[in-house]
Chain A
Amino acid sequence: MSPANVIKQQMASLWCAATWRVFASGWIVIMAGWRSVAMLWRPALCCAIGLTLIAAAAALQPGRGIAVIYPDIGEPYRSVFARIIEGIEEQTRSRVPSFAIGANPNMQEIASELRRQDIRVVIALGRNGLKFTSGLERDIGVVAGGVLSIPEADARNISVHSLAPDPGLLFTRLQTFMPAAKRVFVVYDPNQNTWLIRLAREAARARGLELVAHEASDLKTALLIYQDIFAKANPQNDALWLIQDSTTVDETSVLPLVLRETWGRNLVFFSSSVTHVRRGALFSLYPDNVEIGRHLANSALGYLSSGGQGPRGMVSLKAVRLAVNVRTAGHLGINLAGRQNFDLIFPEQ
């Protein structure tokens, strides 16, 4: 595509966006004005004009070369993607074209739109966003996010930012809450989390911890291993880590067992899932969505600047926030006073 055509298309896109906003702003002013004329037209009009200016200020120039593809999904997950896209746009300092993918997306239409906008790297969010990119032309790079893990073979050619919290960050937090920690137990399915456990082993070694990682390919085996862990764990120095693993961390059998046994034995239990903190895990790290967007944007910009030679493979989640259960901390005798820097505190009341 010639530079002149690119400029023309960008201008057309800008005009479309501007026209739409003018239309929407006009609607706001007309509706608000119409209802308020008889009552309070001046303040209403001022507010409407103010909002129009705000909306106009928010309308940034479209970016170049980067697009986002994300699943068309309901709330509250929709907001997750909205925040990630917000982070991408903040980092690229431009308005990035984004495409919501429904159950039956028109692949050809989107692909031709990507071509029309001269997109060279796609940030694919969610498993369905990633699935869509498999049909893209080879010269379009892919940076993936919003997934836990994908088969390692599939991750060789693209950069995948996982939603699994970085084990190193988790272990650092553990040592803050429990300075005497020596061993961390974890049960994982090798088909899902080999890459994460590899990272975890390195992170544990670097922090003077011993990672005792048990493999389990089915729930029954996992339950037996958990019972064995409870039998031999020493609450003074040991901790249990639940990862995001659909085989070994079952919500109906494993989680109740873990909650009951760790409470009864005063054993520290932390998790990669924030929802477990609500149930009684001591702490978890959960995604900072805007920051994830920035990380993804950096990867995409890196891809563009390196001419398609960016890093490949799985990357654990480093854009995290901290959730803590103060009730569990109290039970374990962990003094949180003076350490109020938590993003989420459970229980709610």
Chain B
Amino acid sequence: MTRTCIKLLCTLLPLAWTSTAAAQPLVEEDLAMAYGDKATVSIATGTQQALRRAPAVATVITAADIAAMGAVNLDEVMETVPGVHVARKGTANTALYVMRGVFDANNPQILMLQNGIPMTLMFLGNKGDVWSGLPLDNVARIEIIRGPGSALYGADAYAGVINIITRTAADTHGTDIGVRAGSFGTWDTWVQHGGKLGPMDIAAYLRVGDTDGPKETIAADAQTLRDRTSGRPPASLAPGPMNLGRDAVDASLDLGYDKWRFRGGYKLRDKVGLGAGIGSALDPTSWAKSERVTADLSWLDPHIARDWGLGFTASYLHYADTVPTNLLLAPPGAKLGATVFPDGQIGGPNKWERQVRLSAYAIYSGFADHSLRFGAGHDDLNMYKTATYKNYLINQTTGAVTLTGPVADYSVIQPFMLPQRRKVSYAYIQDEWHFSRDWTLTAGVRHDAYSDVGGTTNPRLALVWDASHDITAKLLAGQAFRAPSFNELYGINNPVNKGNPALKPETNSTLEAAFSWQARKDMQVNVNYFRYTMKNAIRAVANTPGSMLTTYANSGEQQGRGFELETVWDVSRSLRVTANYSHQRSTDSATNTDAGYAPRNHLYARGDWRFTGGWQLSPQVNWVADRKRAFGDARADVPNYTSVDLTLRSERNKGHWDFAASIRNLFNATILEPSLAPGTAIPNDLPQAGRSFYLQATYSL
């Protein structure tokens, strides 16, 4: 495939070059003076609206940024955000967005929103393990808030919030057809349209793609360890490749009429490989499937009456996470305890969720120097069906597994979880008080009442001082919470982790100081310092000291501090440099050791160079360093790495064609993401893709 890509690159790029080089870009000084620089004109001609709901340390990634960095998947964008590192979970190589050192194997501390509506699921409290990436062709921008946001967003806005804003008719003019091919047998093709249908704005998007995934080798797995003591021939399939193939379909429809907007979405991930295996033992043949259907209807009138604005949203989500082939927890011939599994230990957890969310808010600005925002809502979060297929039974006391014969339906006899339902009602209020010239205090509080874990109230304060025409200082304090996931509360018959219905939400208190400085007319510098304390952290605790059997409990406490420095510098009209450096130290208070997994030091830099012929070349470098192991893991630190990517793309200078070519991990750096402590299951960590390529062509009708 790599050779094919190189050949395609050699063929297409000269073609593209000649097609655009014939038309040198015309310097339109008038346009620059009327619309301003390119960043401003993008805002002024589109629908980009800045995130101004509350003062925060935030990053906005625009579609232009995404194109420049050559990112085709949300994970690639997140790695460029200050304070964020994308770690990996062994199962399906699922991305874990680690913000400011807050790490969890399931990553439920990040609230994922799409157009302001939560995408998170109830089972693990995350975006879903059969997530398998999000394409970016239909994304207008991504807003990332670092730090707690529960006072406005509620649960899970704990370490940060990611809001993905999809394209509307205003962002897409006409019809675009695109095709992309790359390493690992990756193909994507998509079509999107934006325009009007009578008085209605309409935007539609359909993408179909598949990949075989990188075949990085897992040298040893959990079965390798078991084989050493089994007294039997090795059953482990390691060394062997990770299984990361998948098929994907994404579709969306966006209709806007007057103050109304309807959005519908469909996301299918099929034949999703299980990475290093659901039981940390290689599973080359099984696959999982997820299907997500979303719909939302919103109405917004910012000037419904004098001093009043009003809006409401109703949304629906249906999610099915199924395993049509059942999964290998341990390979054929594995000996677990005293039992040999000739066909392997096989399990098939399936779950279906339905979420209905209603919310409304109002803004009132009738009091001098005050702007009030208040809202309320109700969520009905229903994991309405579960099904369990397997060929074993678990002894809940000892954790021992017994072979029961062929795979059968154990949904009644010994399910992994019964259907569960949660209802949440909430209300919040926020006041932005301009109490003195150049000083603004924003105070907010939100109360959430859960049907299963009680109530929680979370405040937030933000003091903003416009110190001079080019310096702004912010002091932010806030508390956030994360309600336990259904798995943490109600998980049963799990060979390792057992749920605990007595769990309470975990909390996070954060203090941040942020400075923004327009250092020169062409250079912006932002720096912030933060400290946080996590309490009642939900962790899996050994049932007895040294036991492999665990139960979730509110037991952990973690403290962290650090800073993030970022700059954007327009060196010249044809060169822009974007860079950020993040440093953090997070400590597990109980053991006084590093909380583990997250890089202490992280540097990212990118140059966007526009040159003759309407082309842009964007090299980027990403340095990830000083990732300590968590307590109880004796392995050496996770190795540092530096990756370099290179993207070349046209900027629609000629006719209807656009081209892009990208090389990821140009120097084939060895990239390892840490496997979990104690590190006996996957002792050599999770290897990530080496050098890869893609080529892309888009035609605009």
Contact = CB atoms under 8 A, between A and B. Distances in A.
B30 A74 contact: no
A103 B31 contact: no
Interface stretch (B34-42, B117-125, B497-505): B34-42
23 contacts: A32-B206, A35-B209, A35-B210, A39-B270, A40-B270, A44-B249, A50-B253, A54-B202, A77-B31, A100-B655, A126-B30, A147-B30, A163-B31, A246-B33, A274-B44, A286-B34, A330-B437, A331-B466, A337-B367, A340-B303, A344-B43, A347-B50, A348-B52
B173 interface: yes
The 4 lowest CB-CB distance pairs between A and B, nearest first, are A275-B36, A102-B23, A263-B469, A348-B50
B434 A274 contact: no
Interface stretch (A3-11, A79-87, A170-178, A224-232): A79-87
A78 B64 CA distance: 14
A259 B466 CA distance: 14
Interface of B: 22-26, 28-31, 33-38, 40-46, 49-52, 55-56, 58, 60, 64, 173-175, 177, 179, 187, 189, 191, 193, 195-197, 202, 204, 206, 208-210, 247, 249, 251, 253, 266, 268, 270, 302-303, 306-307, 309, 363, 365-371, 434, 437-438, 440, 466, 468-470, 472, 516, 518, 521, 614, 651-655, 701
A262 B470 CA distance: 12
Interface residues of A, number: 84
A57 B197 contact: yes
B204 A73 contact: no
A252 interface: yes
A346 B29 CA distance: 24
Given A54-B202, A103-B24, A126-B26, A80 B31 contact: yes
Interface in A306-349: 321, 323, 327, 330-331, 333, 335, 337-338, 340-341, 344-349
A76 interface: yes
A47 B466 contact: no
Interface in A191-219: none
Contact of B369 (A27, A50, A279, A335): A335
Contact of A330 (B60, B195, B434, B614): B434
Contacts, number: 236
A256 interface: yes
Nearest to B202: A54
A75 B204 contact: no
Nearest to A100: B655
Chain B, interface SS category: mixed
B173 A86 contact: yes
Nearest to A323: B44
A148 interface: yes
Nearest to A82: B173
A28 interface: yes
Chain A, interface SS category: helix
B193 A55 contact: yes
Given A40-B270, A163-B30, 12 more contacts: A28-B177, A32-B191, A35-B189, A51-B191, A58-B195, A102-B654, A163-B31, A274-B40, A280-B469, A321-B44, A327-B466, A349-B52
B468 A24 contact: no
A57 to B, nearest CB: 6
A256 B468 CA distance: 13
B50 to A, nearest CB: 4
B34 A287 contact: yes
A86 B370 CA distance: 40
Given A27-B177, A255-B521, A275-B35, A47 B204 contact: yes
Contacts of B206: 32, 44, 47-48, 51
Contacts of B31: 73, 77, 80, 126, 146, 163
A348 B518 CA distance: 14
* Residue of B55, B208, B521 ringed by the most chain A CB atoms within 10 A: B208
Contacts of B195: 54, 58
Interface string A7-50: 00000000000000100100110011001101110011001101
